[in-house]
Amino acid sequence: MIEHLDPRITEALARLPDYLGSHVLVSITALALGLAVSLPLAVIAARRPTLRTLLLAVTSIVQTIPGLALLALFYPLLLGVAALSEQTLGFGFSALGFLPSVLALALYSMLPTLRNTITGLNAIDPDVRQAALGVGMTPRQSLLIVDLPLALPVIMAGIRTSAVWVIGTATLSTPIGQTSLGNYIFTGLQTQNWVFVLFGCFAAAILALVVDQLLALIERGVGARSHIRVAAGLTGLVLLAAAALAPALARPQGDAVVGAKTFAEQYILSALISDRLRNAGFTPARRDGLGSAVIFQALAADEIDAYVDYSGTLWANQMGRSDVLPRDEVLRDLGVWLRDRHGIAMLGSLGFENAYGLAMSRERAEALGVKSIADLAAHAPSLAIAGDYEFFGRPEWTALRDAYGLQFRDQRQMQAEFMYPAITAGDVDVITAFTSDGRIEQHDLVVLEDPRDAIPPYDAILLVSPRKAKDAAFIAALRPLVGAINVETMREANLRAAGGGNESSPDTVAQWLWSRIGTQKPPAK
């Protein structure tokens, strides 16, 4: 039966044990931690109006922080704490993935439990509370024998809300390195694989529903004092956790971790690197969809072992340089800085550049007589530009703007996938584009020249973590990739990945890319 399915579904199913297991693990841990903190807090606060108001206000504010931002904030925070603990206590811990996700999600889960527990405890009939005192209960006995059992239905309703929130929000832990069902969604969005996106959404929704119903069963069982129902609900939860966690625990831990940022080219390259490592006898694990700042710090901290970055990105964001040097000098300075400062090995350029550029439709550019960014500057005040989420905050944009005196009529940010339809439809006149993006040719766009060299070079460079920098077998496995991919090949690979068809999964494209590397002529040296 499986053979008749769409290959994208087959691939999604193949990843399910890993993604679901990680998702369940991070959700359950976060929920347990959230409950362990919020239940006692609620009991303490229920009879203390000032504390109650304060707690509810703080947790409500936490709730207004977007889930993605809250998760992202925990990474640098923990990185600082880990560094501090390394210095003062002599041991560090991984600030990537599991820990920040658990902490952020636990914090996120607290409001419903806290609010419902407080409400439930305060709603108990005063006559009953008086009776508890009058028959000679201590405050503790009154809480355990009378207050909590009576408030339990309301408390359980809160716990159910918390569980559903945590399971839903856990999909956002992918960009900080925690594998989750969000991997489907993030990968799918970047590679226009809508089957993946929908699969991730449904999987998360079904998981949330199942957990909610199991909790509801426990809740009704407690209400009706039916031990059978409570036991059935608990057994269901334990079975779910066991089924989800078994493959995650049984799977051998990877001896190398390959990272990827959040766009298709990165997924392809990470699949390619993983294939090469597997071919050399390693068992690589993948961490796809990491944020741009997160991934470099993760490499420096040995939490991932290899990934591809771009020279201009590191030049500006990590080295803090704003000057523009020739390509070779940038690569040389960067290699020295990476080695001396972080112990990272830069194996070299893959052979293509993925620079930021400004692109216009060929037709429009010719009509306006615009060939370079210098030409564009004169027309800019009547034109609209769209950029990805990062671009307008990057030093390159500042450099570009100042070098040419660019001033656009309108400046918008959007998901890269939507910039191409936008420029085709004429909604915007100029977009930021990556020079290795296959869609430039597909949509008949031209990349404008940069006569003043305001944009630094963006060679794709292969980086290896400090601990693997000394591993000769590891380096040897990846060495064949250096200088092996020219920009035309990469554009075609990216176009295939964006195709949305059966052959568009990063793994399939990576295999195609490797088959091409053998046949294409080696880059001129």
Partner 1 sequence: MKGLQPAIAFDRVTRRFGESGTAAVDAVTLAVPERQFLAVVGPSGSGKTTLLRMVNRLTPPDEGTVRVDGEDVMALDPIGLRRRIGYVFQGVGLFPHMTVAENIAITPRLMGARRDAISPRVDELLDLVRLDRHTYRGRYPRELSGGQRQRVGIARALAAQPRIVLMDEPFGALDPLTREALATDYRALHDDLGLTTIMITHDMQDALLLTDRVVVMRSGKLIADGAPQALMGNDQPDYVRALMETPRRNAERLNRLIAGGDPA
Nearest-approach distance from CB 113 to partner 1, in angstroms? 21
Strand 256-259 relative to strand 284-287, pairing: parallel
- When the beta carbons of 129 and 371 are compared against partner 1, the nearer one is 129
Nearest-approach distance from CB 57 to partner 1, in angstroms? 28
CB 475 within 8 A of CB 277: no
Nearest-approach distance from CB 127 to partner 1, in angstroms? 3
Radius of gyration over alpha carbons of the chain, in Å?
A: 27
**What is the enclosing helix (H) or strand (E) of 387?**
strand 384-387
**What is the enclosing helix (H) or strand (E) of 420?**
helix 416-424
Nearest-approach distance from CB 147 to partner 1, in angstroms? 11
- When the beta carbons of 133 and 378 are compared against partner 1, the nearer one is 133
Helix H, strand E, coil C: the string for 304-350 is: CCEEEEEHHHHHHHHCCCCCCCCHHHHHHHHHHHHHHHHCCEEEEEE
Under rule CB under 8 A, which residues in 484-523 are in contact with partner 1?
A: none
Q: Which two tokens stand for residue 442?
A: 């597909």
Identify which range of 2-10, 35-43, 132-140, 229-237 contacts partner 1 by CB under 8 A: 132-140
Nearest-approach distance from CB 128 to partner 1, in angstroms? 5
C-alpha–C-alpha distance, residues 472 and 464, integer Å: 11
Give me the 404-433 binding string for partner 1, x by CB under 8 A, dash otherwise: ------------------------------
CA angle 278, 282, 284 (to 5 degrees): 75
Q: Which two tokens stand for residue 495?
A: 């176009």
Give me the 224-253 binding string for partner 1, x by CB under 8 A, dash otherwise: -x----------------------------
Helix H, strand E, coil C: the string for 465-497 is: CHHHHCCHHHHHHHHHHCCCCCHHHHHHHHHHH
C-alpha–C-alpha distance, residues 504 and 514, integer Å: 15
Question: Looking at this protein, which amino acid is placed at residue 11?
Answer: E
Under rule CB under 8 A, which residues in 88-127 are in contact with partner 1?
A: 125, 127
- When the beta carbons of 28 and 132 are compared against partner 1, the nearer one is 132
CA angle 291, 293, 298 (to 5 degrees): 90
- When the beta carbons of 137 and 319 are compared against partner 1, the nearer one is 137
Q: Which of 13, 32, 133, 246 binds partner 1 (CB under 8 A)?
A: 133
CB 507 within 8 A of CB 11: yes
- When the beta carbons of 15 and 229 are compared against partner 1, the nearer one is 229
Nearest-approach distance from CB 233 to partner 1, in angstroms? 19
Q: Which of 118, 132, 204, 271 binds partner 1 (CB under 8 A)?
A: 132
C-alpha–C-alpha distance, residues 31 and 14, integer Å: 27
- When the beta carbons of 150 and 294 are compared against partner 1, the nearer one is 150
Give me the 136-175 binding string for partner 1, x by CB under 8 A, dash otherwise: xxx--x---xx--xx-------------------------
Nearest-approach distance from CB 129 to partner 1, in angstroms? 8
Q: Which two tokens stand for residue 161?
A: 């809300």
CB 264 within 8 A of CB 417: no
Residue 131 engages partner 1 in binding (rule: CB under 8 A):
yes
- When the beta carbons of 141 and 520 are compared against partner 1, the nearer one is 141
- When the beta carbons of 135 and 231 are compared against partner 1, the nearer one is 135
Nearest-approach distance from CB 144 to partner 1, in angstroms? 11
Nearest-approach distance from CB 155 to partner 1, in angstroms? 13
CB 412 within 8 A of CB 471: no
Identify which range of 135-143, 427-435, 436-444, 449-457 contacts partner 1 by CB under 8 A: 135-143
Q: Which two tokens stand for residue 334?
A: 């960067």
Site residue total, partner 1 (CB under 8 A): 18
Q: Which of 14, 128, 242, 246 binds partner 1 (CB under 8 A)?
A: 128
Max Cα-Cα span within the chain: 92
Nearest-approach distance from CB 110 to partner 1, in angstroms? 26
Nearest-approach distance from CB 159 to partner 1, in angstroms? 18
- When the beta carbons of 141 and 317 are compared against partner 1, the nearer one is 141
Q: Which of 90, 134, 252, 281 binds partner 1 (CB under 8 A)?
A: 134
Render the burial of 86-120: b for 16+ CB within 10 Å, e for the rest.
eeeeeeeebbbbbbbbbbbbbbbbbbbbbbbbbbb
CB 386 within 8 A of CB 419: yes
- When the beta carbons of 142 and 361 are compared against partner 1, the nearer one is 142
Nearest-approach distance from CB 153 to partner 1, in angstroms? 10
C-alpha–C-alpha distance, residues 510 and 276, integer Å: 10
β-bridge mates for residue 353, sequence order: 459
- When the beta carbons of 141 and 292 are compared against partner 1, the nearer one is 141
Binding site for partner 1 (CB under 8 A): 125, 127-128, 130-138, 141, 145-146, 149-150, 225
